[in-house]
């Protein structure tokens, strides 16, 4: 592994812009797909025995917290229009489709003693349609939509959920594992833990920053490991599939060449990304040492009897580490990071524990999302950083995309894909990073959580004013279709 000095030098070299699209082909085994999530596209929120989940409850109870009071009750209506969605994927030439199961559609109470056969049939039919069209299903078991009865007993703060999730995972492997060979247990746990149990903006709306967000993460990591071991011990020999957990981050670039800002950028990556990635993907396991040390120190100064960050036993560290078959990465943008001394000891919080200020360069190209700037060199740097820090894993990019306002001639999205795919190709061909797949987020314009339908990420436009929710291909559809067919970003690629 490179020394820290050499790593920092290599990252500095990579800071140049990508420039013209790379005229080399992606490797023959490289796969392309696109993605959605159950609550964002399915609709049918109470159809055919589906149970209530926390986003159903939250959007109905607190409509003022969502842009325009919107919700996912109908969304893209993919529960009824899934065959049309498969046709869209076939037209695109997608190698795979990443989607999530709605836990409450399969198990209305969240518990395995009550299986909703209509929900099982829906996913069986979707998977069958994908397979018959040569499209591999990539299934996420949990994309933020916890069954409400499980939140009523404490949600991810209650370690009993490790067993409930294990039961759900085992049932899913049993019912669908003959056809599904790529599983992701959780999507972006830092988001639903931090924003749901720390900041309180996502359901369940708990504001215990620096306490409950860490408890949530601790439970989730144990639940992931339990599900992985169930697959490994009970299903792998006959199903020959793979299991992973999706971890997300932006790239954090030091705001200056100072040692303090370099340390701050690394610390921000460890608190954001390493919080979940280290325990699973790092050869040593456990939380990043900087998290362990800083949170313990601040907790002691705040008067706590022990660290607010829960502690794994040595046995738990060993049980969790290595529970992956490939590295699942979601990433969209880049931030500048600088050292901050503004977080004095006082109210506990994740931001205070991190003590880093982040911002974006005003000259970077924008999207419809305030947080999403077009910074392709950040993608390449992040891939190199993961490669160096996590022992050269196989990486599948499970989300990457661009938001606009839904226009059909979406040149901004085409430019984003071109530049980010070029950066990925540079990481593969020039830096030796083992990236084997790319997932464009997303297939359809859909419900964007707190932002409702005000931001559009789809390569297919959805008319949400029409009860039939018609889909229309955007210019980016044809762009990606050509890239997938030729494995090339330009008209003619060199071999």
Catalytic positions = 399
Q: Answer for the pair 166, 226: CB distance below 8 angstroms, yes or no.
A: yes
> Which residues have C-beta within 8 Å of that of residue 34, sequence separation ≥ 6?
89, 92, 94, 97, 98, 439, 440, 441, 442, 443, 459, 480
CA angle 414, 85, 460 (to 5 degrees): 25
Nearest to 127 by CA among 97, 102, 169: 97
Residue 365, SS3 per DSSP? strand
> Which residues have C-beta within 8 Å of that of residue 6, sequence separation ≥ 6?
none
Query: How far is it, in rounded angstroms, from Cα 115 to Cα 104?
Result: 10
Nearest to 455 by CA among 374, 378, 371: 371
Taking every pair of C-alpha atoms in the chain, what is the biggest distance, in angstroms?
64
Nearest to 386 by CA among 344, 354, 424: 424
Specify whether the backbone of 140 is left (phi greater than 0), alpha (psi in -120 to 50) or beta: beta
CA angle 238, 241, 245 (to 5 degrees): 140
Q: How buried is residue 138: exposed, middle or buried, by Cβ count under 10 Å (0-12/13-18/19+)?
A: buried
Q: Which two tokens stand for residue 460?
A: 């297919």
Q: Answer for the pair 426, 22: CB distance below 8 angstroms, yes or no.
A: yes
Q: Concatenate the DSSP letters of all residues of 73-92 into one string.
A: SSTT-HHHHHHHHHHHHHHH
Calculate the alpha carbon distances from 57 to 46, 53, 328 in Å: 12, 6, 29
Residue 352, SS3 per DSSP? helix
Query: How far is it, in rounded angstroms, from Cα 226 to Cα 150?
Result: 18
Q: Concatenate the DSSP letters of all residues of 175-200 into one string.
A: HHTTT--EEEEEE-HHHHHIIIIIS-
Nearest to 396 by CA among 329, 441, 460: 329
Query: How far is it, in rounded angstroms, from Cα 160 to Cα 200?
Result: 22
Q: To which H or E segment does residue 222 belong?
A: helix 212-234
| Terminal-to-terminal C-alpha distance of the chain | 31
Q: To which H or E segment does residue 161 belong?
A: helix 160-176
């Amino acid at each position: 592994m490179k020394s820290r000095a050499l790593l920092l030098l290599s990252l500095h070299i990579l800071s140049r812009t990508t420039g013209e699209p790379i005229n080399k082909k992606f490797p023959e085994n490289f796969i392309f797909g696109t993605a959605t999530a159950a609550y964002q596209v399915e609709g049918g929120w109470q159809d055919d025995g589906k149970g209530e989940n926390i986003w159903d409850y939250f959007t109905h109870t607190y409509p003022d917290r969502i842009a325009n009071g919107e919700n996912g009750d109908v969304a893209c209506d993919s529960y009824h229009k899934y065959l049309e969605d498969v046709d869209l994927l076939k037209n695109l030439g997608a190698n795979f489709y990443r989607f999530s199961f709605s836990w409450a559609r399969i198990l209305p109470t969240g518990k395995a003693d009550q299986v909703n056969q209509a929900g099982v049939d829906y996913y069986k039919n979707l998977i069958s349609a994908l397979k018959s069209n040569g499209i591999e299903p990539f299934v996420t078991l949990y994309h933020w939509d916890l069954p409400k009865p499980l939140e009523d007993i404490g949600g991810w703060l209650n370690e009993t959920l490790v067993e409930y999730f294990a039961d759900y995972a085992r049932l899913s492997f049993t019912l669908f594992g003959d056809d599904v060979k790529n599983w992701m247990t959780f999507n972006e746990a830092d988001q639903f833990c931090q924003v749901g149990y720390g900041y309180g903006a996502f359901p369940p709306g708990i504001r215990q920053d620096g306490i409950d967000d860490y408890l949530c993460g601790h439970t989730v990591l144990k639940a992931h490991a339990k599900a992985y071991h169930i697959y490994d011990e009970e299903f792998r020999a006959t199903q020959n599939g793979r299991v992973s957990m999706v971890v997300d981050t932006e790239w954090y670039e030091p705001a200056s060449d100072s040692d303090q800002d370099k340390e701050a950028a690394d610390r921000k990556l460890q608190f954001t990304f390493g919080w979940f990635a280290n325990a699973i993907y790092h050869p040593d396991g456990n939380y990043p040492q900087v998290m362990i040390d800083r949170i313990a120190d601040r907790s002691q100064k705040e008067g706590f009897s022990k660290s607010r960050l829960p502690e794994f036993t040595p046995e738990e560290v060993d049980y969790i580490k290595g529970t992956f078959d490939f590295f699942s990465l979601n990433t969209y943008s880049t931030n500048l990071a600088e050292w901050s001394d503004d977080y004095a000891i006082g109210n506990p919080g994740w931001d205070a524990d991190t003590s880093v200020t982040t911002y974006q360069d005003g000259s970077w190209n924008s999207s419809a999302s305030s947080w999403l700037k077009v910074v392709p060199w950040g993608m390449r740097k992040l891939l190199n950083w993961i490669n160096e820090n996590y022992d050269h894993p196989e990486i599948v990019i499970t989300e990457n995309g661009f938001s606009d306002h839904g226009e059909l001639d979406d040149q901004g999205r085409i430019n984003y894909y071109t530049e980010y795919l070029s950066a990925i190709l540079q990481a593969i061909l020039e830096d030796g990073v083992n990236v084997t797949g790319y997932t464009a987020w997303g297939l359809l314009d859909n419900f964007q959580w707190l932002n409702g339908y005000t931001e559009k990420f789809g390569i297919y436009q959805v008319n949400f004013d029409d009860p039939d929710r018609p889909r229309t291909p955007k210019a980016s559809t044809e762009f990606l279709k050509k890239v997938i067919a030729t494995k090339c970003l330009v008209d003619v690629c060199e071999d």
